[in-house]
Amino acid sequence: AKITLQPKKSKPISTLLTGVFFEDINYAADGGLYAEMIQNRDFEYKTSDKSDNDKNWNSMHSWALKGEKASITIDSLAPIHPNNLHYAVIETRLPGAALINAGFDGIAIKKGDSYNFSAFLKNFKGKATELEVCLVSDKIGVIAKSKLKISVQNWKQLTTQLISSADAVDAKLEIRLINAGKIAFDMVSLFPQKTFNGHKNGLRPDLAQAIAAIHPRFVRFPGGCVAHGDGIENIYKWKNSIGPLESRKPDRNLWGYHQTMGLGYFEYFQFCEDIGAAPVPVIAAGVPCQNSSTGGGGQQGGIPMAEMEKYIQDIIDLVEYANGPVTSTWGKKRAEAGHPKPFNLKYIGIGNEDQITEVFKERFTLIYHALKKAHPEITIIGSAGPFFEGTDYVEGWKIASDLQVPLIDEHYYQSPGWFINNQDFYDNYDRNKSKIYLGEYAASLPGGNKTNLETALAEALYLTSLERNGDVVSMASYAPLIAKVGHTQWNPDLIYFNNSEVMPTTGYFVQQLYGQNAGDTYIPSQINLSTTEENVSKRIAYSIVRDSKTNDLIIKLVNLLPVTVNTSFNFNEIGVLNVKAAKTVITGNPVDKNTKPIVSEINISAETPLDLPAYSFTVLRLKTK
């Protein structure tokens, strides 16, 4: 095939095209990106967090007590904060009792690293009592130890540092009571000293780094379904996720576990800033998820209309929290959290994949008008609703067009074949209507092994079509982003992890290659293929963009055929320098998992031949004049 570039037909494309979708699904936040190592640190787990009413899912989950003549009770009298009602009381008549936390599948500790322990404590007897805080590995024994003294009868936060003498993945936290006594514990916390960018209450560096390495232009949070929740009560309320940790209001996670809100809106904004990505919060459109188990779904009802004014004010307050001056009510709270400068919020999504019922429309319209009036500088993203083939978002698009919503969020999870066959999905979208945010998509296979090289290549191929339509597709994010092995509610995901390892899929490298090789101008080109067979030609796709900041030309080519395809480029019109180009290739057997990119260099001349291996994704990056 011969590819002739047509730079005269170039068009500007979105500079926000690829980003990430972060949702607390698959233990992505608690037990995942959020670096807290203690599970159920606030003793707030409740049986009602779980749809199966698991009786072990209670305030004692992940906790155990060791010691003779020692007892543990869960109390709620005079808590640290009304939002954090429960705490544990240990009473022991003999020295040596210990409160133990098993972490999230154990605690992974590195030799020589420091860990910050903190807890709110209350000593009922008032007589000074010593505590020994230890990290204990089943296999090795005690690997870190430190002491604390507690004498006060009122809640007091005490801290100490632990330095580990060994590596372990099976550690537990043991708080030993050296003396007999009665002590209350709450917000028992252990953080690695090393968090991403060194923030207090920060993120796991390896996972955060893996996300940052995609070079996402935006981060969507906190979902997904988590954003609109399982019933009205469970709608994610950003105000419950900010402020001192002990005052945040934990909630049931609709994916069947518990949200501490430790990773809350402040931390999301901070992460976006750290990695140079635009924050894209998604707020419920006044209706919960239509699949709500509580029966309060989109069909049946949303937030009562009488309460909508308050709900809308919360959304308007979010803009003040993110962008307002430190003298404003909510800007002040941001400053108190350590960030006086604004977070530069520009986008807010309203609604997530909701069924577009009358209940939805009424509430969406109210929110849309009010937010637009209060903050015309914010770009509002509407929801296209669930994707049903044949009815392609008819209702969602109708309301978006009626209200002239600037951007609309589409979602689809499909087979590789669907992505190959629908690569023209946006070619004929009306350029005068709302622009697109493809907020969730993934190619997946039926059965256990849902991703492999073939799914990754189907995504790479589809992404060429998103670049080609980068004038109408403004943003796109693969979903879901991360998943803890053994705790997945959704497959496939882009990155799998456990407590000590990060395991990116091949699809991750595709996202990374797009993120790291984005452009702001699309350069059309003509391809002469030796075949007119549609089944064959659909399996070859490419896109050419230019990054005006570096003057680099980036060519992405996908070959989903079982044979090598010989191509050559005619660079005559583009003024390419006779230089070496960076060449990155992902290739292998379509059923392979975990295929990694291989980087090399090639010489570029006016007519450059390039072989695309069978089942491959190739990215060329070269300088132009």
Q: Which residues bind ligand AHR (CB under 6 A)?
A: 23, 25, 223-225, 352-353, 411, 440, 479-480, 490
Shortest Cβ distance from residue 224 to ligand AHR (Å)?
Answer: 3
CA 517, distance to chain mean position in Å, is 21
- The single residue of 267, 353, 410, 459 carrying the catalytic annotation is 353
Provide the phi-psi class of 551: left if phi over 0, else alpha when psi is between -120 and 50, else beta: left
CA distances in angstroms from 136 to 60, 175, 190, 544, 583, listed in the order given? 19, 10, 13, 55, 48
* 64: CB partners within 8 A, 6+ apart: 99, 100, 102
- Reading the block at residue 310, the tokens are 């308050």
Q: CA angle 63-66-72, nearest 5°?
A: 60
Shortest Cβ distance from residue 352 to ligand AHR (Å)?
Answer: 5
Shortest Cβ distance from residue 497 to ligand AHR (Å)?
Answer: 17
Pick between residue 342 and residue 386 the one whose CB is nearest to ligand AHR: 386
DSSP state at residue 15: T
Consecutive H or E run containing 607: strand 607-612
Q: Are strands 495-497 and 482-484 parallel, antiparallel or unpaired?
A: parallel
Shortest Cβ distance from residue 291 to ligand AHR (Å)?
Answer: 8
Radius of gyration for the chain, computed over Cα atoms and rounded to the nearest angstrom? 27
d(CA 440, CA 535): 27
Q: Counting beta carbons within 10 angstroms of the beta carbon of residue 104, is it exposed (0 to 12), middle (13 to 18) or buried (19 or more)?
A: buried
Pick between residue 79 and residue 229 the one whose CB is nearest to ligand AHR: 229
Peptide bond into 224 cis (omega under 30): yes
CB atoms within 10 A of CB 61: 20
Is residue 9 within 8 A of residue 546, CB to CB? The reply is no
Q: Are strands 129-137 and 379-383 parallel, antiparallel or unpaired?
A: unpaired
Pick between residue 353 and residue 552 the one whose CB is nearest to ligand AHR: 353
Pick between residue 155 and residue 413 the one whose CB is nearest to ligand AHR: 413
Consecutive H or E run containing 432: none
Residue type, 426: Y
Shortest Cβ distance from residue 140 to ligand AHR (Å)?
Answer: 39
Q: What share of the chain is helix, strand, coil (3-state, %, to 5)?
A: 20, 35, 45
Pick between residue 116 and residue 491 the one whose CB is nearest to ligand AHR: 491
Q: Is 353 among the residues known to form the active site?
A: yes
Shortest Cβ distance from residue 21 to ligand AHR (Å)?
Answer: 7
Pick between residue 483 and residue 513 the one whose CB is nearest to ligand AHR: 483
Helix (H, G, I), strand (E, B) or coil at 554: strand
H helices of 276-411, in order, are 308-323, 329-336, 358-374, 394-403
Shortest Cβ distance from residue 438 to ligand AHR (Å)?
Answer: 13
Shortest Cβ distance from residue 493 to ligand AHR (Å)?
Answer: 9
Pick between residue 25 and residue 565 the one whose CB is nearest to ligand AHR: 25
d(CA 150, CA 123): 7
CA 596, distance to chain mean position in Å, is 22
Shortest Cβ distance from residue 386 to ligand AHR (Å)?
Answer: 7
Pick between residue 261 and residue 544 the one whose CB is nearest to ligand AHR: 261
Residue labelled with tokens 């009626």? 402
Q: Can you count the helices (H) and strands (E) in the chain?
A: 11, 35
- Reading the block at residue 103, the tokens are 């972490």
Shortest Cβ distance from residue 25 to ligand AHR (Å)?
Answer: 6
Pick between residue 23 and residue 267 the one whose CB is nearest to ligand AHR: 23
Pick between residue 216 and residue 224 the one whose CB is nearest to ligand AHR: 224
Helix (H, G, I), strand (E, B) or coil at 159: strand
Strands across the sheet containing 552-559: 11-12, 521-522, 540-547, 552-559, 616-623, 580-587, 598-603
Q: Which residues are catalytic?
A: 353
